[in-house]
């Protein structure tokens, strides 16, 4: 019986568990402090002894939206020997020679085109698209309905907001937040928050 422990029990974790149900027979949630015994019909635990037992028995998926928290928890579990799942919804379209790192989820309706590279712990969210030859670093979130044109590079911990568009041949540095609906037409070389059409730094 294939087991998966989903770390987290919020909205993102529910979607992750829904995708995981295609591949896993036994799914459970783990949280730091539980407010309910059940989530989406699956058991929720905050018992660290049970978590330690699961390390050798189950695969893990860290379903936390915040990139830095997602990375920290992944590193902590990795040091204990956890194995991480990669989850791809059956309706997603994955092109030729695409690589996808451990702990990444590709949501329903997402498209990743040929020769793109997706790092570890990424979220490729619902109906988003990553075109050919893109390089998405670890712990990046490509939000719902976002579109990356060809040969885009996005560095670690960056969040590209819902409905944003990134033009082709653009590089975006680490630790950025691209606002919903923004249009990125030139390289972003300084961490921060960028909004508007075209996208400009604020704050």
The pLDDT tens digits for 113-158 are: 999 999 999 999 999 999 999 999 999 999 999 999 999 999 999 9
Catalytic residue among 89, 132, 141, 147: 132
Give the tens place of pLDDT for each residue, 122-132. Answer: 999 999 999 99
Q: How far apart are CA 111 and CA 113, in angstroms?
A: 6
| DSSP H/E element including 183 | strand 183-184
Active site residue 132: yes
Q: What is the mean pLDDT of residues 161-186?
A: 98
**Left (φ > 0), alpha (ψ -120 to 50) or beta: where does 135 sit?**
beta
Q: Which long-range contacts (CB under 8 A, 24 or more apart) does 87-92 make?
A: 87/16, 87/19, 87/20, 87/23, 87/61, 88/19, 89/19, 89/22, 90/22, 92/124
Full-model pTM:
0.96
The percent of residues above 70 in pLDDT, for the chain, comes to 100
Q: What is the pairing mode between strands 59-62 and 93-94?
A: unpaired
**pLDDT of 1 above 70:** no
**pLDDT of 91 above 70:** yes
> What is the predicted pLDDT for the residue at 153?
98
**pLDDT of 35 above 90:** no
**pLDDT of 160 above 70:** yes
> What is the predicted pLDDT for the residue at 184?
98
> What is the predicted pLDDT for the residue at 122?
98
CB 140 within 8 A of CB 156: yes
């Amino acid at each position: 019986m294939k087991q998966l422990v989903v770390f987290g029990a919020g909205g993102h974790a529910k979607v992750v568990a829904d995708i995981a149900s295609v591949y896993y027979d036994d799914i459970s949630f783990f949280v730091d402090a539980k407010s309910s015994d059940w989530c989406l019909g699956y058991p929720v635990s905050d018992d660290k002894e049970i978590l330690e037992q699961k390390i050798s028995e189950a695969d893990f998926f860290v379903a936390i939206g915040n990139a830095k928290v997602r990375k920290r928890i992944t590193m902590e579990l990795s040091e204990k020997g956890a194995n991480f799942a990669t989850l791809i919804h059956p309706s997603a379209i994955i092109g030729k020679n695409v690589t996808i790192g451990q702990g990444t989820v590709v949501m329903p309706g997402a498209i990743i085109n040929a020769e793109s590279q997706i790092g570890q712990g990424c979220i490729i969210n619902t109906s988003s698209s990553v075109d050919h030859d893109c390089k998405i670093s670890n712990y990046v979130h490509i939000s719902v309905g976002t579109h990356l044109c060809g040969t885009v590079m996005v560095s670690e911990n960056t969040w590209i907001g819902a409905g944003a568009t990134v033009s082709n041949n653009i590089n975006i540095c680490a630790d950025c937040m691209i606002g919903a609906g923004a249009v990125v037409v030139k390289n972003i070389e300084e961490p921060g928050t960028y909004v508007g059409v075209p996208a400009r730094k604020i704050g």
